[in-house]
Copies of this chain bind each other. A is one copy, B any other.
Amino acid sequence: MSDAAAVDTRVDLGGIALRNPVLAASGTFGYGSEFEPFLDLRRLGGFVAKSLTLEPRAGNPPPRIAETPSGLLNAISLENVGVEAFIHQKLPAIPDGVTVIASVFETEIDRYAEVCKRLTGVARVAGIEINASCPHVKSGGIEFGQDPKLLAQLVRGARRATGLPLVIKLSPNVTDIAAMARVCEGEGANAVSLVNALQALEVDIETRRPVLSNVLGGLSGPAIRPLALRMVWQAARAVSIPVCGIGGIEGPADAVKFLLCGATAVQVGTSNYLDPGVAGQIADGIAAYAARHGVARLTDLVGALEGVPG
């Protein structure tokens, strides 16, 4: 079987039916339409929109980005148009036939829940991804995703607020990623996605200051891929809900690695900046790999990693 077109690329991400396993990651794909000059969005499984808050938010002052070895450090903060503008201005601009997952981040659980409520029942919103990598102000800035109890409360709150497929995006800044995935499954999440950017720091030795105005930022890009692969493999072994793999995916081979490690779908992030057409090429490339290896259904690749303790 060497015809990529004949490969069944469909996957189900916790109730979100995807044409293929390749999504664009939140915060790296804008609200979708920015990519139309470069890419037919229908070639993707779909995309996760920029994370939304209840109110529109401005971000951090510049500098917001810095380059690191094979990585990108960013501190954009909560900048977004707000949930209402998303629903009424951004969503309608997205071409039909494109699967859209909304992403939510907030500083308090009830606000998370409120944004989820507003998104529920909106046509075109196929599911909600909860960005748990936000500092919980009351707990002195620890991320929701770093504390099992906080995370459980967050998932519970979101679960109560919406019947939509609920994907919890885990923070990688933890000791035990498997435990966090289990918490989400226990609270009724339909899937988990990981990893978000890793907390990191870059310094300018001439100014003696952090490069980013926000001091700390999130590290993304190829540099973190081996860390993300490890966490995805650990999470996928720990839960029975689907896992969405994210981190440093540059091409089809990288996406296949995540599938083999147990990811049902993947998200492409930073690479969209470097090459706005790359996500489509990755979708095609995975099918080509499957065809080359006589794999009829991409779901047959999920968790097919060999030579590992059962």
Selected interface stretch from A1-9, A23-31, A218-226: A218-226
Flag whether A240 is at the interface (Cβ < 8 A): no
Given contacts A227-B219, A253-B205, A308-B215, whether A70 and B70 have CB atoms under 8 Å apart is yes
Query: Would you give the shortest CB distance from A245 to chain B, in whole angstroms?
Result: 11
Flag whether A296 is at the interface (Cβ < 8 A): no
Contact B248 A69 (CB under 8 A): yes
- From the candidates B203, B222, B229, name the one contacting A70 in the complex (CB within 8 A): B222
Query: Would you give the shortest CB distance from A182 to chain B, in whole angstroms?
Result: 15
- From the candidates B199, B205, B210, name the one contacting A308 in the complex (CB within 8 A): B210
Tell me which residues across on chain B come within 8 A of A222, comparing CB atoms.
Answer: 68-70, 223
Tell me which residues across on chain B come within 8 A of A200, comparing CB atoms.
Answer: 226-227, 229-230
Flag whether A37 is at the interface (Cβ < 8 A): no
Query: Can you list, as one digit per residue, whether each of A273-290 has a CB less than 8 Å from chain B (1) or not (0)?
Result: 000000000000000010
Which positions 11-55 of chain A face chain B at CB distance < 8 Å? none
Selected interface stretch from A81-89, A117-125, A130-138, A255-263: A255-263
Given contacts A68-B226, A248-B69, whether A260 and B205 have CB atoms under 8 Å apart is yes
- From the candidates B71, B173, B176, B202, name the one contacting A223 in the complex (CB within 8 A): B71
Given contacts A69-B248, A225-B69, A229-B200, whether A309 and B215 have CB atoms under 8 Å apart is yes
Flag whether A306 is at the interface (Cβ < 8 A): yes
Query: Would you give the shortest CB distance from A104 to chain B, in whole angstroms?
Result: 23
Tell me which residues across on chain B come within 8 A of A308, comparing CB atoms.
Answer: 209-210, 215
Query: Would you give the shortest CB distance from A112 to chain B, in whole angstroms?
Result: 21
Tell me which residues across on chain B come within 8 A of A260, comparing CB atoms.
Answer: 203, 205, 208
- From the candidates B175, B203, B309, name the one contacting A261 in the complex (CB within 8 A): B203
Query: Can you list, as one digit per residue, whether each of A68-108 has a CB less than 8 Å from chain B (1) or not (0)?
Result: 11110100000000000000000000000000000000000
CA separation between A222 and B221, bound complex, in Å?
13
CA separation between A69 and B257, bound complex, in Å?
15
- From the candidates B71, B208, B305, name the one contacting A203 in the complex (CB within 8 A): B305
Contact A226 B209 (CB under 8 A): no
Flag whether A58 is at the interface (Cβ < 8 A): no
Given contacts A175-B174, A208-B305, whether A230 and B261 have CB atoms under 8 Å apart is no
Flag whether A144 is at the interface (Cβ < 8 A): no
A interface residues with partner B (beta carbon < 8 Å): 68-71, 73, 146, 173-176, 198-203, 205, 207-210, 215-216, 219, 221-227, 229-230, 233, 248, 253, 256-257, 260-261, 289, 304-309
30 example contacts (A-B, Cβ-Cβ < 8 A) are as follows A68-B225, A68-B226, A69-B221, A69-B222, A69-B248, A70-B70, A70-B222, A71-B223, A73-B226, A174-B175, A198-B227, A199-B227, A200-B230, A201-B226, A201-B233, A201-B261, A203-B260, A203-B261, A205-B257, A207-B306, A208-B304, A208-B307, A209-B307, A209-B308, A210-B307, A210-B308, A215-B307, A215-B309, A216-B230, A223-B223
